[in-house]
Amino acid sequence: MLPRPQDIWIAQCDAAKSVSARFGLKASFDYLVGEKLMNFAEAASNHPEFARELPRFISEVRQMFGATDMREHLARIEREQAEKASIEREEEDDAFPEDPGAADRWVTRFEWVKDLLTSPQLGTS
């Protein structure tokens, strides 16, 4: 039996707390937001059961990281992704990149997640 979406995000939040204790806030944020929440948001765009759980996941992340830390780490991730994209464009020798739209989809999804994480109030309607 597959795990329920709520079981997935709860386990990921618990793991992020362990990551924070062991490796620090940056590593915890990168794990939970930069990786797990981004993947969950992608799944939510195609699977209603994930979409229903996304507000609860977002709410938990907002409780785990303060507003200042949230803004700082989101800005850092944006900078790192922009630098990575720039380097990849400079090094691109391949006439047929693996997935030319993947970077654009990531940016769109990141902006959506960032808006949810930094919005003054979450709505569920």
User: What pLDDT score does 120 carry?
Assistant: 83
User: What pLDDT score does 56 carry?
Assistant: 96
Q: What is the pTM of this model?
A: 0.86
Q: Which of 13-17, 26-30, 78-82 has the lowest mean pLDDT?
A: 78-82
Pick the more confident residue, 79 or 102.
Answer: 79
Provide the sign of the torsion angle of the four alpha carbons 32, 33, 37, 42, taken in this order. negative
**Mean pLDDT computed over every residue of the chain:** 89
- pLDDT category at 96 given cuts 50, 70, 90 is low
- Asked whether the predicted pLDDT for residue 124 surpasses 70, the reply is no
pLDDT in tens, 43-95: 999 999 999 999 999 999 999 999 999 999 999 999 998 888 777 766 665 55
3-state secondary structure the chain: CCCCHHHHHHHHHHHHHHHHHHHCHHHHHHHHHHHHHHHHHHHHCCCHHHHHHHHHHHHHHHHHCCHHHHHHHHHHHHHHHHHHHHHHHHHCCCCCCCCCCHHHHHHHHHHHHHHHHHCCCCCCC
Cα angle value 105/44/108 (rounded, 5°)? 20
